[in-house]
Amino acid sequence: MTPFKALFWPTLAATPVLALGLWLGFWQLDRKVEKDTLVEAVSMRALGRATIIPAPGAWAQLDPDLIDFQKVSVEGRFRDGPEFRLYVALSEAKGPLRGPGWFIYQPFDLASGGTVLVNRGFVPESQREISARPATARPPDGVQRLEGLVRRAERVGPFAANDDTARNQWFTRNATKMAASAGLAGVAPFTLEQSTPNPGGLPQAGETRLVFPNRHLEYAITWFGLSATLVGVWGVFVWRRLKLAVLRTDR
C-alpha cells in the first residue's frame, strides 16, 4: 500500500471533525456579535432617560424583546393586595440584603389606565410573610411616582421548579399567570422592576441584574484551538507515515 493510500481513511475521518470545530468557532464569533449588540441595546434602554409606559391599548402589540429593560416612569396607586412572591437567591446584591429570599410583586393601578405588577424589591426568607415585615415595608398609600425597568415574561427553563399558586411560591416571572391566579383583569403582560427606593429600604428595590454572561470569544478560541491541535496531530501523523515510507524505500 502506498503511503498516500494509507493516509486516505485517517484524513477522511479528520476532515469532518475539523470542519465542525471551525464551524463552531465561527458560530461563537457570530454569537458574540449578537450578544454585544444585545448588551448595547439593553444599556441604552436601561440607562437612558425614562419614557412613559405604553398605554394599555398598545400592550398586545408590543414586542417583548424591544421593551425588555426599557426604563419607564409611572404614576398611580398600589393596591393593598394581593402580593406575589418570586423566589430568588440574591448573591450580587446592590443593597445590604442578600441570600435566599423573595421578590415582592404588587398590583399598581396606573393613572393612565390598566394595571402593572411592580416588583417592589427583595425581602429575605425570614421576612417572607407580610406579618414578619415592619409596617414601613407595606405599599405606600396615595398617588405614587415610580421609575423602573420593564421586564418581559420569563421563559420557563428545563430545570425550573413548578410554581405553587396555592402557597404563593413563584419560580418563573410571568405577570399573566400571576394575575390569573388571583383573578386580576386588565394586567400588563410585562412586569415593572422598581428602582425607586422604598421607605426604610424594605423591600430592597433596584436589584435588577444588568450583567449578561458573554464568554463567546473564549469559546471561539477554544474551538479554534482544538481545530489547530487536530491539524497539528494530523500533520505529525502524515510526517511519520511519509518518513516510514521513505525508510522502507531506502532498504
- Domain assignment of residue 54, yes or no: no
Residues 182 and 119 in one domain: yes
Whole-model pTM? 0.76
Check residue 206 and give left, alpha or beta (phi > 0: left; psi -120 to 50: alpha).
left
- pLDDT value at 205 more than 90: yes
Distance CA 20, CA 27 (A): 10
Residues 186 and 95 in one domain: yes
Residues 79 and 167 in one domain: yes
pLDDT digits (tens, 9 = 90+) for 4-50: 666 777 788 788 888 998 898 888 888 888 878 777 777 778 788 88
Residues 78 and 155 in one domain: yes
Q: How many domains does the chain have?
A: 2
pLDDT digits (tens, 9 = 90+) for 97-133: 989 999 999 999 999 899 999 999 999 999 999 999 9
Distance CA 207, CA 80 (A): 23
- Domain assignment of residue 33, yes or no: yes
Residues 76 and 181 in one domain: yes
Identify the domain containing residue 179 by its residue range.
70-201
How sure is the predictor about 239, in pLDDT bands with cuts at 50, 70 and 90?
confident
